[in-house]
Structure formats: structure tokens, C-alpha cells
Chains A and B, each alone.
Chain A
Amino acid sequence: MRATLAIAQRDFKGFFGTPVGWIAACIMFLVAGLLFYIVTYGLITRGQAVDPVSEILGSLTGFLNYINIFIVPIFTMRVMSEELSQGTYRLQTSAPISTTEIVAGKFLGIMFYFGVIGLLMLVYPLYVTLFAQPDYKVMLAGWLGLMLNIAAVVSIGLFIGSLTKNAVISYLGSVFFIILFLFSAYVQGAPEWYQRSVNILELGNDLVRGIVKTSSLAIYVAICGLFLFLSRLVLETKRWRV
């Protein structure tokens, strides 16, 4: 546990120690700011909204869910593929800790980063509370949806990252695989449960609308669990396969 936190904390600090963390944050805030402007402008000119705050947060998180497919793999690439190629992964494997602790640490480190970004993103809906009365529960559900979507993408990215030492392949491979994963929901003849589970963007939209279902939470947990387990498996076999 101590080692997991040590890895998470180091990775989190590492993102801010290099330009990557700052640039990614800039992109996300730039997009969010533009969206905020467009959505509020639309609301003001149309002049009709039942709950302006959740509408603003809804469009923001809805769109962030899409761009995160392209931003999150930058981070998973850094903590997996780059550590494998630069040899710093050896620091972790030569310590008396399990692969599970290592994978958990890497996962948490990225989640800390996006947690902070997500909290800062709340500034937009909170700003609107000056002018309107929001439903805070819906807001919280939307934020949870954003975080869960990121968590799912992070675990997929970590898995793809564990397969290669090459950073470029890791990034492009993750983006490609995530898109493939999402679109596999639309394959003709796929079982219904599969279509429902794989389309995490749709699940996220439910949460943004304030619909929290145990089944959707369970699906997120299952996706994260599966891909984190697979990355652990890949790292573990490296010891034997090289």
C-alpha cells in the first residue's frame, strides 16, 4: 500500500515536473472554456433552460469524454511504455513489491491528476450558481461520470502501454483500441448486454443527466478491473518472456 501511494504520488508530481501535464491541462481548459462560452451564449440567446447548470456541465463533460480518448493515452504512455523503455520500471520491479501494487500505483497517479483537473473544471458550473439554482446531486453525478469514463480509458491505456516499449505505438495503439472498443457496441449481432456495457460514452451521458444506476457503476468497475488485471498479467509475464 505504501509503495502504491509512493508510485502514485511520484507519477502525479512527475506530470507537473514536465511540460506534458501542463500542456494537457491547457488543452482541456481551453476546450472547456470555449464550450462554456458557446453553451452559455446559446442559453442566453435562446433564453430557455430547465436547469442551466446541469445543461452546461452536461455539454462540458459530454465533450470532455470524447477528447479524453486522445488526452488520457499521453499519460498512460508515459507511466507504462516510457518507464519500460527508459528502464525506470526496473526501480519498481527490483523493489520487494507485487506487480498489482505497481499497476495500482500507476493507475492512481493518473487518476489523481485527472481528479485535480476535474475539480478545477467545476469552476464553470459553480460560476453559474451565482445566477441560477442548480441541482447539486446531478452535478455530482455528472462529475462522477467524467471520472469513471477517464478511469475506464486509463485502464485500457495502461494495458496497451504494458504491451510495448515504444511510446508512439503505445499512444496510437491506445487511441485506436479505445475507439475500436467503443464502436464494437455497434457491431451487428453483438449480444445486447455487450452493447450496453461497452458503450461507456453512453453510460457517461446517463450519469451526466443524473441517472446513477448500480449496473452502470458495476460496468465501470468491471472494465477497469479487467484491463488493470490484464496489464498486471502482461507485466508479470515479462519476467519470464522478456
Chain B
Amino acid sequence: MIEVKGLVKLYGDRKVLHGLDFSVGPGRVCGFLGPNGSGKSTTMDILAGLLGPSDGEVRVCGHDVVTHSKEVKAVVGYLPDNPPLHREMKVREFVDYVARLRGQKSAARKVAVDRVLEDCDVSDVADRVIGNLSKGYRQRVALCSALVHQPKVLILDEPTEGLDPNQIVHIRELVRKLAKDRTVILSSHILSEVQATCDDVIIINQGRIAAKTSLTEEASRSPSMLFSFQGQGSDAAASWLREKSYVTEVRPFADKPGTLVVDFLDDFCREGADANVAKLNASLVQGGFGVTGIAEHKGGIEELFFHVIKSQNQGGLTP
């Protein structure tokens, strides 16, 4: 669906993308995760055919973004980070205008506009002026304009930026719903955002791909927990835990001294087996190891992301 090979982008002398390589298959939700200024928006602009790459090859649905940008734009729906809205227009009027821009004929347009307003749950404000709507509604109206031509690929640049938690949940549900019959690429600098909605994650940092991983694979990993201990308690606890039959691995957590990552057998933490975890926690506390914290270990992507953020901080940049 989307293939990117050796993508380079220069702004003047400044290189912002250093040879990105990735591909996104049909029907997948792919998340671009990275700190602000890492090159996410530039990559998305290039994928949507708005910006030309300085080097490399980018294909969307088989069309090259440089030589066939019209075909690319016809199959892509793009929601930029600063949603483009004409604030003096009414919602229905605005979505209809976007459909006209994309060359839809009047009869088909009416159906398409009604459908997309319904899909994005904005039918109730269809006759209100966009400038008077709340930010969450405005975001959804912008989403309508990206969806009105039923694109095969949907590109969303930080779709939940600046929304309140309720609105975030709503947009997430909407993205999941939309992803059923199209490829979605969304960007975020918030880890939980990507974890909540995506199948694949590409971590971008300073114009380079820091990591690529699949969250569906992550989810099938064996269950794992984090235990924090006071002082030297972790060493004693590690040997105590290693003797248990249901523990597969115990290792120190790299980002935080005094903390252990403990992997369990699949059965131990499965749903409905809360009692096992409760019993283990109780015996750890009674064992006098000085437990200070117990948390679920969400796995590789989290460690990876914080590692990326941390290495950037050492470079003197703000996250």
C-alpha cells in the first residue's frame, strides 16, 4: 500500500529526513511515534503528495508521489496537524466544498457528505458555523473533510492533539472504526496514543527510524511485571523469584536501578487468574524484600521509546 525507500528531505542545507525505509500493508494502522520536530509531519506531507522528497522513492497504492501526485492525492485523505478549516463556513457547507474540490458530482456529493457527517458523528452540528464549535468537534469536521472522498489511505497528523480525555477516546474509537476498510497512518508524540490505536509502530527520532515494531506481536508476548525494591532488596528478591516454577525470566530494568523485570508463564497472568498475582505480591511483601512498587510491564516499545527520548535529552534537546 505504502512503500518508502531511502526517503531524504532537505530544507535548504538542513537535512530533516535521513533516508527513511518502511512499508505499510493494506488494512493496517501504522503509528509514527516520535518527539516534536523529529520529522513526522514532513514525512506525512510527502506521503500525501504535498511536499516533494529531495531523494528516495515514495509510492502510495502503486503511484509515485512525484510523477503521479494527482493519483496519489485522489486516494489519500490527509488531516494535517493544524486542521484546515474555513471558520466562517457551516459544517455541511464546508464538507460539501471539499467534496466539490475533489470533483464529486452534485448528486453523489450529497450522499457522500451525509454519510461522512454520520460516520464522524457531527450530523447534530451540521448547520452550525465551524468557528463556534468546540475543538473536538472541529477536529471531527476536519476528519470529515479528509474522508469525504472515501480514501483508501488515511493520514492523520496528531489527531488528538489538544483535546480533552473524552474527546481523545472518541477520536480513537473513530480511527479504529475507520481503519476497518482502509490503511491508516497516524502520528503522535504520546506513547499511549499509539498503543491504543495502532497495529504497527515506527519510532522516528531526528529524521531517522529508531525502531519498527508490531504491536500485535507485542501483545502476544508472555506476561511481564515490574517490581521495585528498596536498597539492595532486589538482589535477594531476584534469586527468590528465580526459584518459582511460573517465572521464566528475571532481569534488572535498565532505566531504573533497584527494579526487576519479571516474565511469567502465559497461564500465570491470563485473564481470570488475578489470584495468582495477588498471592505472589503478598508473599513478596511478607518476604521482607522491601517492595516499593509493583506495576505491569508494558513491554519493548515503552522501553524503546523512553530510550529514544532519553538519548535525545542527552543531546541537549527538550522532549
Contacts and interface: CB of A to CB of B under 8 A. Distances in A.
Given A94-B78, A95-B98, A240 B50 contact: no
A98 B89 CA distance: 24
A2 B49 contact: no
B84 A86 contact: yes
Interface string B23-37: 000000000000000
B70 A91 contact: no
A92 interface: yes
A221 interface: no
Interface in B72-99: 73-74, 76, 78, 80, 82-86, 88-89, 97-98
A144 interface: no
Interface string B274-300: 000000000000000000000000000
Contacts of A17: 88-89
Interface in A41-98: 86-98
B11 A2 contact: no
A143 B114 CA distance: 43
A3 B84 contact: no
A95 B73 contact: yes
Contacts of B89: 10, 14, 17
Interface in A102-159: none
Given A96-B71, A96-B74, A239-B51, A7 B101 contact: yes
A216 to B, nearest CB: 36
Interface string B57-71: 000000000000011
B157 to A, nearest CB: 11
A88 B97 contact: no
Interface residues of B, number: 27
A6 interface: yes
Interface in B294-311: none
A39 B71 CA distance: 58
A95 B102 contact: yes
A109 to B, nearest CB: 12
Contact of A91 (B51, B52, B74, B101): B101
Contacts, number: 66
Interface string B85-123: 110110000000110111100000000000000000000
A87 B85 CA distance: 8
Contacts of A90: 50, 78, 80, 84
Interface string A1-18: 011001100100010011
Nearest to B80: A90
B139 to A, nearest CB: 14
B72 to A, nearest CB: 8
Interface of A: 2-3, 6-7, 10, 14, 17-18, 86-98, 239-240, 242
30 contacts: A2-B100, A3-B100, A3-B101, A6-B100, A10-B89, A14-B88, A14-B89, A17-B88, A87-B80, A87-B82, A88-B85, A88-B86, A89-B84, A90-B50, A90-B78, A90-B80, A91-B84, A91-B98, A93-B50, A94-B49, A94-B50, A94-B73, A95-B73, A96-B70, A96-B71, A96-B102, A97-B70, A98-B70, A239-B50, A242-B51
